Structure 1
Amino acid sequence: MKHLIHIFLLGFLMYGCKSKQGVHLGDSPDSTKHRPDFSIAFGSCNKPGMENVFWDDILQARPDVFIWGGDNVYADTDDVSEIEDFYKAQHQVPGYAALKEQVMVTGTWDDHDYGANDAGVEFPSKKGSQNAFLNFLEVPKDDARRLREGVYSSQVLTKPGGTLKIINLDTRYFRTAITPDKREGRRYRPNTYGDGTLLGETQWKWLENELNTSKADFNLIVSSIQFLSDLHGWEKWANHPHEVDRLKKVIVASGAKGVMILSGDRHISEFSRATVPGLPYPLIDFTASGLTHAYTGFSGEENPYRIGEVVAQNNYGHITLDTDTKTVRFRIMGDGGKVLQELKQAY
């Protein structure tokens, strides 16, 4: 078990139910002015057939929302009926069944829900897979996601103290080819600058609008793959380096408050932080992976943006946001509510 690591950062912001329309959340009877306004749990890399010890812990944390970060059920097949069976199996996990009855659930998918390892725009069953994923999240039949390509979405959560916007990205449906890397211990290297897309132009325009029009106190962008960590040889935003630059520019130009990124995929958990020119607070990418299995043999990997240490054991992410003090507390959580690592950021 790793020792608890407290990391305190300062970065002051200098700017002053499951539907897109938003969710209004009342304070609990025992809440006080010192209780954080929003509590979010999220996780990735989950197999319904493996033991998952976290659902009761997550319920006890009393989150306002649980966010799936991708690789939610490991449905690696192009047979949509089989994909649906994996989702049904997850619904039958007692702890998860209890959670979704009491807590709002949202999120995105990754390749092992989409249907094939590292798959992108070329995957032949993507339309059927999208429908299965939306059914898993119990998305209403009249939701915009039922009428368009891709599972990207946004929700606005409102409490008396302020608002939180969750922006779920789809890094699968539109992602074009990435460049293989034949070096040992690596699978991909960055594309030539300007070559290919991760989000596709339609989703890019949507994302720009979501940030440009956001009035929320905090904005969470959910990406199934890591955004900041850029030196490893696996899937990452940095395989499309021009789109990394584009997202940074979009965030800065929007003036959106308290933008942060959540990611999964890696079977390890870590905090990454970057200074972005023109952004009056650090950009944080919180990776939490995985719920049922982790890369316990992890022996090191360069990440110039890492804050603290890598956690290579089963875990989930917990975030609390205080709209009064404009602070966010990020925690990597182990079994039994044990905090494995923590970061506190002022915005």
Structure 2
Amino acid sequence: MKRIMFIAALSIFMLACQLQRNVGEVVNETKNDNFVIAFGSCNKTDIENRLWDDVLAAEPNIWIWGGDNIYADTEDMQLLRKMYVGQNQVPAYAALRGKIPIIGTWDDHDYGLNDGGVEFGAKDESQQEFLDFMGVSKESPRRFRKGVYASHDYKTKKGTIKVLVLDTRYFRTALTPDNETKKRTKPNLYGEGTVLGEEQWQWLENQLTGSKADFNIIVSSIQVLSNEHGFECWGNFPHEVDRLKQVIAYSRANGVIVLSGDRHISEFSRTTIKNLPYPLIDFTSSGLTHAYKDFSGEPNPFRVGEVVFTESFGLLHFDFESKEVQFQIVGDNGRILQQIQQSY
């Protein structure tokens, strides 16, 4: 009888450990000495996602949702919950959830309001539904603070990675419509408005300044560098872009990389920052189930390579010994659509 009780207790303990790993807040070790991140955004539950098997085949250590994980656009929490449950029941995604930790952020369509920000009335209720979808414990501190931003730390035998997931919705103030051109928005006056809000800014500064990780990944649902297309981006708040660059440079954090989504296209953007010994790369991966198939071009002064406008997800391969990262845009059947490599 005692043996049966011991086995039962051990099973419960192992299950609890697995649930904690699925939250993704702290993982002490990984299956490989190096590390692979897979991420993507813009996923409609009523369209077949043909990429989940390719994500699994890549054997990533984690999957990161970049936002628009479902398309709800609603204040009805029952409808929002139903769509999250539906996504979790997709067989190929369920298989992924059963194998690796899932983390991420939201964007406007799963937040609940198209192009929405601080003004969205149901954001607190929506936050709890999002945290349920992410498998976050009811006792987690994330349940009791404003916004879905979070820090996740991963350790291998050769190095460590910190993932800082930002919330670019909860605190974001009003955009400025562009009534003079065909673009949807234009930059606010310099100093006017915020993307992150002061509390989240202080958190980000503390996380980066105190980081000893070999690589530090910042997840933003909207693009940070590309700033001339007229849709949502950090460029609508140019002072916030400057502040982010300053925070990264002054923190002296190793290997800071930005991952973004939202745009239904995938591309690499890169820039240099004063006092930063490596370039800042913004890797946009967007369009898991639907992409901007009619894309005909748009300016991006920071672009590296070409725009990919078919369904895809992003892969990052980290080599701790060489301090190199390989960035890949991956399409159906594991086809590499574009890639770059960067040393840090």
TM-score, length of structure 1 as denominator length = 0.92
| Cross-structure match for 1:255 | 252
Determine the C-alpha separation between the residues in 2 that align with 1:192 and 1:40: 36
| Residue 198 (str. 1) matches residue 202 (str. 2) | no
| Residue 131 (str. 1) matches residue 128 (str. 2) | yes
- Secondary structure of the residue that 2:121 maps to in structure 1? coil
Amino acid at match of 2:80: I
| Residue 246 (str. 1) matches residue 250 (str. 2) | no
- Per-residue CA deviations over 1:178-234 (Å, capped at 9, x if unaligned) read 100124431110000000111000000000001011110000000000000011100
Determine the C-alpha separation between the residues in 2 that align with 1:107 and 1:319: 15
Determine the C-alpha separation between the residues in 2 that align with 1:316 and 1:301: 21
| Cross-structure match for 2:286 | 289
| Cross-structure match for 2:27 | 23
Amino acid at match of 2:94: A
Distance 1:197 1:149, change over 3 A: same
Asked if the contact 1:176–1:197 (Cα under 8 Å) also holds between the matched residues in 2, the reply is yes
- Looking at secondary structure, tell me which structure has more helix per residue: 2
- Per-residue CA deviations over 1:146-204 (Å, capped at 9, x if unaligned) read 01000000100000010000000000000010100124431110000000111000000
Asked if the contact 2:23–2:101 (Cα under 8 Å) also holds between the matched residues in 1, the reply is no
Asked if the contact 2:168–2:221 (Cα under 8 Å) also holds between the matched residues in 1, the reply is yes
How far does residue 92 in structure 1 lie from its aligned partner after superposition? 1.0
- Per-residue CA deviations over 1:80-108 (Å, capped at 9, x if unaligned) read 11111110110111110110010110000
Among 325, 340, 344, the residue aligned to 1:343:
340
| Residue 331 (str. 1) matches residue 328 (str. 2) | yes
| Cross-structure match for 1:59 | 56
| Residue 319 (str. 1) matches residue 316 (str. 2) | yes
- Per-residue CA deviations over 1:37-82 (Å, capped at 9, x if unaligned) read 0001000000111010111111111100000000100111111111
How far does residue 27 in structure 1 lie from its aligned partner after superposition? 3.3
Amino acid at match of 1:341: Q
Among 218, 221, 231, the residue aligned to 1:221:
218
Determine the C-alpha separation between the residues in 1 that align with 2:178 and 2:58: 42
- Secondary structure of the residue that 1:102 maps to in structure 2? coil
Amino acid at match of 2:326: R
Among 117, 136, 153, the residue aligned to 1:120:
117
Asked if the contact 2:24–2:102 (Cα under 8 Å) also holds between the matched residues in 1, the reply is no
- Secondary structure of the residue that 2:182 maps to in structure 1? coil
Amino acid at match of 1:24: N
Determine the C-alpha separation between the residues in 1 that align with 2:274 and 2:230: 26
Larger relative contact order, structure 1 or 2 (CA cutoff 8 Å, min sep 6): 1
Asked if the contact 1:19–1:155 (Cα under 8 Å) also holds between the matched residues in 2, the reply is no
Which runs of 4 or more aligned residues in structure 1 lie more than 6 Å from their structure 2 counterparts after TM superposition? none
Determine the C-alpha separation between the residues in 2 that align with 1:206 and 1:344: 30
How far does residue 141 in structure 1 lie from its aligned partner after superposition? 1.4
| Residue 73 (str. 1) matches residue 77 (str. 2) | no
Distance 1:173 1:21, change over 3 A: closer
Asked if the contact 2:64–2:102 (Cα under 8 Å) also holds between the matched residues in 1, the reply is yes
| Residue 267 (str. 1) matches residue 271 (str. 2) | no
TM-score, length of structure 2 as denominator length = 0.92
| Residue 279 (str. 1) matches residue 276 (str. 2) | yes
CA RMSD of aligned residues (A): 1.1
**Count of residue correspondences:** 324
Asked if the contact 1:20–1:153 (Cα under 8 Å) also holds between the matched residues in 2, the reply is no
Query: Which structure 1 segments of 5+ residues have no match?
Result: 1-16, 29-35
Asked if the contact 1:38–1:63 (Cα under 8 Å) also holds between the matched residues in 2, the reply is yes
| Cross-structure match for 1:97 | 94
